Amino acid sequence: MNIGKSFSFVFDDKNWLSKLGLGALITLIPILNFSWTGYMVGIIRNVMNGSPEPLPTWDDLGKKFMDGLLLTVAGLVYALPAIVVFCLPLSFMIVPAILSGNSDLDDIATAVAGMGSALFVCLLCVFIVYILALSVIYPAILVIFAREGTLASCFKFREVFSLISQNSSPFITAWAVNIGLSFAISIVVGVVQTVLNFILCLGQIAATVITFGVIVYATAVYAHLFGQFGNAAGQNASITTT
């Protein structure tokens, strides 16, 4: 994998500023911002296909919107277990609140509240493990979706795990670089916002613009990294089948 290329490819496109600038604006518009997710998929597809200029144009906004919408729907499905994790402890908190007005039931309310607290701690651990696992497999889901473009392709679990296990080296490289990038960006954005927020109005506007610009650029780097992973996986598959 060419890690350096993932950070520099954006600037090889003479229209990078207009493409990413429009992308940053689109991310600010509710519903339409699904298109930015579709744009990320477009980068992955272009890198997988060896395009010399991976940054897509915006002339097929409808396609990008649909890709982003399908991935959002898939994301909601994947989020259901996390929602359940948080809803179950809430039921144990509501019951004590209902019973608290009756002194005869105080012991029951206390016991239920204790069970709710213990359950919350246990489910919180499950939630953290689930989110970490999802962060690992999600890039592979993106690659498969970039190939097939269907909602069903987001749930091909056997292909997801096969893709990762058979191409573990490029995948781990891309994933580790992305984790490091995310950490670095969180520090940079935090420092920039802290400094610029001291400047009233203009500073806050500048902080918002810079924040969205950094996020858009980081997303492009993320997409290029896993586009390279998808490209390497495709080459390995073709070697295996020949």
Quick one: pLDDT band at residue 89, thresholds 50, 70, 90? low
pTM across the whole model: 0.82
Judged against a pLDDT cut of 60, whether residue 240 lies above it is answered with no
Quick one: pLDDT band at residue 106, thresholds 50, 70, 90? low
Which helix H or strand E contains 157, and what residues bound it?
A: helix 157-166
Q: Using one digit for the tens of pLDDT, what is the confidence trace for 206-236?
A: 777 888 888 899 999 999 999 999 998 886 6
Q: What is the pLDDT of residue 93?
A: 60
Judged against a pLDDT cut of 70, whether residue 113 lies above it is answered with no
Each residue of 21-54: b (16+ CB within 10 Å) or e?
A: ebbbebbeeeeebbbbbbbbbbbbbbbbeeeeeb
Q: Are 62 and 88 in contact (CB under 8 A)?
A: no
- CA 143 – CA 147 distance, rounded (Å): 6
3-state secondary structure of 101: coil
**Chain mean pLDDT for the chain:** 84
Q: What is the pLDDT of residue 37?
A: 94
**Token pair 């400094």 is at which residue?**
195
Judged against a pLDDT cut of 60, whether residue 76 lies above it is answered with yes
- CA 138 – CA 142 distance, rounded (Å): 6
Q: What is the pLDDT of residue 128?
A: 84
Q: Using one digit for the tens of pLDDT, what is the confidence trace for 17-66?
A: 999 999 989 988 899 999 999 999 999 999 999 988 899 999 999 999 99
Q: 105 φ, ψ to 5°?
A: -110, 10
Quick one: pLDDT band at residue 241, thresholds 50, 70, 90? very low
Q: Using one digit for the tens of pLDDT, what is the confidence trace for 139-178?
A: 999 999 999 999 999 999 999 999 999 999 889 999 999 8
**What is the arithmetic mean of pLDDT over 126-146?**
90
**What is the arithmetic mean of pLDDT over 9-15?**
93
Judged against a pLDDT cut of 60, whether residue 238 lies above it is answered with no
**What is the arithmetic mean of pLDDT over 104-129?**
67
Q: 77 φ, ψ to 5°?
A: -65, -45
Quick one: pLDDT band at residue 100, thresholds 50, 70, 90? low
